[in-house]
Amino acid sequence: MATLSTDVLVIGGGATGAGVAWDAALRGYDVVLVDRADLAEGTSGRFHGLIHSGGRYAVKDPDAAKECIHENRIIKRIAADCIEDVGGFFVTTPWDDPAYADRFIQGCRDTDVDCEEIDAAQALREEPLLNPDVSRVFRVPDANIDVWKTVWSMARGIQARGGRVLPYHAVVAIHRSGDQVTGARLRGAGTGEEIDVEARVTVNASGAWAGQVADMAGIEGVRVLPGRGIMIAMNHRLVNTCVNRCQMPTDGDIIVPIRTVCVIGTTDEHTEDPDDHTVYESEVDKMLDDGEKLVPGFRQARAMRVWTGVRPLFEDAKASDTETRDVTRAHALLDHAERDGVQGFVTITGGKLTTFRLMAEDTMTAVSKHLGDERPCTTATEPLPGSEAGEHYHLGERLSRKEARLADDQLICECELVPRWKLEEAVQRRATTNLDDIRRLLRLGMGPCQGGFCIYRATGILHGLDGLTAEQADESLLHFLQERWKGVWPILYGDQLRQARLDDWIFQGVLDVEHLPAAIPASQAEATAS
Amino acid sequence: MSGDGGMGGDGGMGGNGAMSGGVLEELMRGSLDHCVKCTICETQCPVSNVTPLFPGPKYAGPQAERYRVSGEPSVDSSVDYCSGCGICSMSCPQGVKIAEINSQARNRLKQQKGFPLRDRIITRPTWLGRAGTPVAPLANLTIDFKPFRIFGEKVLGVHRNAAAPEFAGRRFSTWAKKHPSPPTGKKIVYFHNCGTEYYEPWEGEKVMQILEHNGFEVVVPKQDCCGLPLQSSGLFDDARKVVLRLARALVPYVRDDPDTLIVGNATSCTLMLKREAREILSLEDDPDLKLVSERTYDICELLLELHDRGELKTDFNPVNEHIFYHAPCQQQGHWIGKPALELFALIPGLEVTEGNARCCGIAGTYGLKAEKYDIAMAVGADLFGQVKTSGASEVACDSETCRWQITHATGHKSVHPIDYLHRAYGL
Amino acid sequence: MRGELHYDAVVIGAGTAGLVAGARLAEGGARVCVLAKGVGSTHLAPATIDVLGYAPERVTSPSAAVEELVAARPDHPYARLGFDAIAEAVRWFSERVAAGPLPEYRYVGDVERNILLPTAVGVLRPSALVPETMAAGDAASRERVCIVGTRSLRDFHPALCAANLRRAGVDARSVDIEIDVDRADQNSLGLARRFDDPAWRAAFAGRLALKLQAHESVGLPAMLGLRDPHGAWSDVQHRLGRAVFEIPTLPPSVPGMRLYEILRSTLRRAGGRFVLGAEVVSCDRDGSRVVSVATRSAGHDAHYAAPWFVLASGGFGSGAIELDSRWATHDRILGLPLRGAPEPGAPRFVSDYLAEQPMARVGVAVDGELRAEGAENVMVAGAALPGAVPWREGSGEGIALASGSHAAQLVLARSGAPAGAAA
């Protein structure tokens, strides 16, 4: 079996883990980053994409607010290409306590969160669909971030500095020698091949799964309460600004415009299992009702997709399981040498996406001490690969790229403007023909038609490209249809049901995929997924 | 930061809780949610089917609109190749307001890129008409004078070969003043449009005579352009001023009597009043325009309805002709089918070939433009071919700009459908 | 009332069912108007006449299978229509195609035996009648086939099609050919127009012939001409010296567009009226009768009054039947009661995408004569009917033709002298 040797092994390829590995690489350490699935497939990839201004915490959790605004400014510089600077509003709706607004302004002042009150009429001119009955509006520097782009930018940077990035490698054992963690054993998802990694320090950055990984190292009491929430992507941007309810944080109080959609979220249900992706109808109803409060007519707009994300809520002392929102959203760095007498192992969990860089810095500061040679952190100033020019993303970019080559680029996914050359290049670069991975990377099939047109095209192209057998191509197509359906049927009504019916006609009527030779039944398809 | 809703200030009419222009624009933009990407609009678009310069209605409309953020720069100039014919919206089985979304996107594009001088001139038939009418013989000579046309192409961007109509040398309104209708008590308001006023006053005379024959007292208010050419070229602020001025001119005649209608013979212009101005220019809230739009009828639409009620005089003499009928895009855009065909069926001896081509290509002023003329001629090629092989002697068509294009391309005479009724009545 | 026109019958919907109902009403002497919100489903479907393909196993003989189906599902439209009505409607359709505006174009096959044609992904799919341009793809012929595609057409992938056909026991291979196009985003319609040009066809056939082997028939994506498909297809066959067949693929469906042209022309030639862009937004009722419908036309609504209506407006796909965000279903056109929707609280969908979904069979509730419950002068036809899952069982056109014909026949039988304005 293969063995790798490294300074730092980072378990977990979400924003935090990738951030830790990036920080390590910049400090000149050798690093191996692993994830059991694709990068950013856990919590990072499953939330709405908001980079907080901190306003949300200005009253309830001032320390968190200070952290957020500080990091907000940094991320807008270092990950500029992944950020769309849409700005944010906090609005007092008829359902919100008007007195909170004054506490909000004060809280922002106290925590250095930029906050400017604007006239409701002005807000309505900028956002015509906003509830006309909002009484007060505050402008804050919210932004949205493309998490996959961010994580993959860091991965490229890590690889450029000699580090190794291994998605689809699950940790099956953590090696311990007495009270020293010495590394881990990995198993490759596709091949089943095992690799041993020897590491001087192992970082457990597996977010909502941190408790499970810590258990593998024989460390008890790392309690992460998964807080499951749903998010619904609406087919087009009903708003171009993040809109937050001006009240104590609660369910369904944010609409985030991100790329071509806007996302409403989220709910908060305790679950035992961080891989629990159930969507409850009551949650969907709640999100739609909450959407109506901010944007009247929300229920007539088209809901495109629903998905769940699991927040990692760290709890060190005993507390009630059920109301997870009130458990701290601050991050928790556990140095197991101090806490449990185990050397070479550090857990970072909790937190929110906005502070991923800070979490990574804190982690690497501790790791650096363990390695006995403290090197400075430069992640606050070093731009991510691709963000060197410091220019923010604009939504019109894909449209403008296609416009420049209007008659020359063959579009495969028309909704998301994905040209053929990009698909072919992604396959070569990432050595994968897993449509799911490609979907996440290119956003293929993530538009309104949910793959109705592009999936057959992409399958045909992939089959041609990579020596894929027809069986493999068919399996990949059917798997995609099944995965896509999971995110559609709980919010299937109105316009999206019209779309689903057309897609049924295409896949089952025109193509008759149900009768592909040995079509895999759903239960089997799910078992083979990731 | 997103700007002012992309409308240039408060587009609404203010006061009384009226909806802002931004909300009304969202009515068109919001319809993109109905798009299921079925491609039906692409199969019908006459422009994208002949040129790759226009990526097609599905692309330019509901698809690209998801990438447009109000206040941010426009990035897709290709939307300017949309001719505004509206066939896409009419064909869409899901009710996406495709042509309207395209129009609004073009407006934002033009606001940013600026409006060429040409677009400010050829979109004002009133100016051109008032300037050209008193000197019609000379003006008409220059229109046909090749060196002048080449100069015009280089300086203004109007294609040297584009079908430019001849000034009549007299104004319809002048004639109307001298020929008031006999009072019958059954009033109807005539919206005659710029084409009739400056280029084809005889059409207006025929319309009045037909209406009078059927017992109407025709009122011809002082009136001006409907603003459609300005809208088609993306000059929305000017278009709003012009169409609202027209609405204010017509509304006093219909406000007090619920039965008084407004009738027009130019199907593009009546469509502007009925629907396009309200939807595309986000003027849904203007009460005068709303009332005018509800009362406006196309002449064939009106006559057919009278006939359905048994109120149309049917004393038609035979007209032994074989004609070709082309329903302009903006006549079909009324969404009432083709009433002209039903009227033709009442005239003994009249043989009609119904064309099934999409568009003649002119699309108002689109086909006059130097960069679009060839596209327009390619768009119309199917129609022109059908006309030539039909064996028909004349072409009936409800819109004057289409008539001029058809004659330009085929050499066939082209008249409004009501000409045959006029002839059959023996007026 | 102002804005109102009178007819003997008004058809709502211009998909296959609506156009058939309208055409047969007009042929029977009724003054009929077909109101279309937009162009119908014809443009999206393969345009094969599917009577019954899967029940749930693959069907070889529709007549026997239909009999079994209606015994098991008495609420299926076929149970009310009967196989003879299906056969008659299909015969009528065949005759109209042959007499239609596309010279010499015809459908082949018969309702007693399904043909197995390849789909664009290489599955063999059963159909009863198919355009002559597709017929040579019948797997029963056991011919060697060469599936031909072009990189310019992103909507068809010959290698995948051929590979899956091989897995289904067909001796298939694939070939790619270069086609000069003016744009990268080419679709079947753009290519079909080229195939209407004899000179272009000759050049194409010349280039393709160089890549073919002996004794193999040729499968092309469905793009063999729009105006003259018979001419295009037989010309290419002749030049290649072997059987050629079209394979339907992603929309836009060129064979579907031909079908639309044929049916619309049949309607017009019989004197029927057709109004495009006319979305029905409300109706006037008098007790259990619909008196008139209003369409959103420009300016003011246009009203269409008639003693009989045919509701051929489609199901969820067209938005005529809606499931709203509070999970209630409605007929948006006439507000008629529906049948087949799950009870409130019961699952509407299941997580296995390829299983039959609980919402699949929802339609406008009808009596034994396919008249709408709650509106005695409204016939229901096509995808608006409950009880069927046409995209899974392969019955869409069979239901459309038979129910559209049935609606016309019932209305003609029950009508007295034509009402409305004198001609």
The residue extents of the domains of chain A are 84-142+225-311, 397-528
Q: What is the pLDDT of residue C416?
A: 63
pLDDT at B359 over 80: yes
Last residue of a domain, one of B89, B113, B137: B113
Distance CA A248, CA A268 (A): 14
Report whether B179 contacts B208 (CB < 8 A). yes
Cis peptide before A266 (omega within 30 of 0): yes
- Find chain C residues with C-beta within 8 A of B44's C-beta: 39
Read off the pLDDT of residues A421-469 as tens digits, 9 standing for 90 and up: 999 988 887 766 677 777 778 888 989 999 999 999 999 998 988 678 8
User: Is B93 inside any structural domain?
Assistant: yes
Indicate the pTM of the whole model: 0.94
Is the Cβ–Cβ distance between C122 and C165 less than 8 Å? yes
User: Is residue B13 included in any domain, yes or no?
Assistant: no
Give domain status of residue B381, yes or no. Answer: yes
Number of domains in chain B: 2
Of C3, C23, C4, C6, give the one whose Cα is nearest residue C261: C23
The C-alpha atoms of residue A394 and residue A128 are separated, in whole angstroms, by 21
Q: Answer whether residue B13 shows pLDDT above 60.
A: no
Tens of pLDDT, residue by residue over B155-175, are 888 899 988 888 999 999 999
Q: Which pLDDT score is estimated for B71?
A: 85
What is the residue-averaged pLDDT of chain B? 91
Spell out the residues 6+ positions from residue A99 whose beta carbon is closer than 8 angstroms to its own: none
Nearest chain A residue to C391 by CA distance is A509
Between chain B and chain C, the number of residue pairs with CB atoms below 8 A apart is 115
Please report the pLDDT score of residue B388 as a whole number.
96
Among left, alpha and beta (phi > 0; psi -120 to 50; other), residue A455 is alpha
- The CATH number for B25's domain is 1.10.1060.10
- Digit-coded pLDDT (tens) for B269-318: 999 999 999 999 999 999 999 999 999 999 999 999 999 999 999 999 99
Q: Is residue B392 part of a domain?
A: yes
How far apart are the CA of B421 and the nearest CA of chain C, in angstroms? 16
Predicted local confidence at residue B8, as pLDDT: 31
**What does the pLDDT profile of chain C (423 residues) look like in tens digits?**
778 999 999 999 999 999 999 999 999 999 999 999 999 899 999 999 999 999 999 999 999 999 999 999 999 999 999 999 999 999 999 999 999 999 999 999 999 999 999 999 999 999 999 999 999 999 988 889 999 999 999 999 999 999 999 999 999 999 999 988 888 889 999 999 999 999 999 999 999 999 999 999 999 999 999 999 999 999 999 999 999 999 999 999 999 999 999 999 999 999 999 999 999 999 999 999 999 999 999 999 999 999 999 999 999 999 999 999 999 999 999 999 999 999 988 999 999 999 999 999 999 999 999 999 989 999 999 999 999 999 999 999 999 999 999 999 999 999 964 444 333
Question: Which chains sit next to C, with 3 or more Cβ pairs under 8 A?
Answer: A, B
What per-residue confidence (pLDDT) applies to A329?
60
**Cα(C188)–Cα(C221) distance, integer angstroms:** 8
Whether C352 contacts chain B with CB within 8 A: no
pLDDT score, position B17: 41
Parts of chain A with a pLDDT under 50: 317-327, 520, 522-530
Six-digit token string for C380: 């229901």
- pLDDT, tens digit (0-9, with 9 covering 90-100), for B174-204: 999 999 999 999 999 999 999 999 999 999 9
pLDDT of residue A323: 46
* Of C120, C327, C354, Cβ closest to residue A511: C120
Structural domain includes residue B239: no
> Residue A529 corresponds to which amino acid?
A
pLDDT surpasses 60 at B206: yes
Q: Please provide the CATH number assigned to the domain covering A84-142+225-311.
A: 3.30.9.10
Nearest to A516 among C123, C316, C322 (CB): C123
Q: Do A128 and B25 touch (CB under 8 A)?
A: yes
Report which secondary-structure segment, H or E, holds A231: strand A223-234
Is residue B51 included in any domain, yes or no? yes
The predicted structure's pLDDT at residue A319: 39
As beta bridge partners, residue B278 has: none
Preferred mutation among A399, A492, A502 to probe B, highest tally of B CBs within 10 A: A399
Phi, psi of C71 (to 5 degrees): -65, -40
Complete domains list, chain C, with CATH: 4-96+258-414 (3.50.50.60), 106-254 (3.40.50)
Q: Residue B20's pLDDT is what?
A: 65
> For residue A321, what pLDDT is reported?
45
Domain of residue B381 covers: 314-425
The residues pairing with A224 across neighbouring beta strands, listed in sequence order, are: A314
C418 touches chain B (CB under 8 A): no
Closest Cβ–Cβ partner in B39, B92, B94 for C251: B39
**C:196-255 residues touching chain B, CB 8 A cutoff:** 251-252
**Among residues A276, A346, A347, A351, which one has the least CA distance to residue A313?**
A351
Chains in contact with chain B (at least 3 beta-carbon pairs closer than 8 A): A, C
Choose among A299, A492, A509: nearest Cβ to C349.
Answer: A492
Residue that terminates a domain, selected from B113, B147, B177: B113
| E strands in B131-191 | 187-191
- B379, B359 Cβ separation under 8 angstroms: yes
Note the pLDDT of residue A272: 86
**Last residue in a domain, options B113, B143, B172:** B113
Mean pLDDT on B399-424: 96
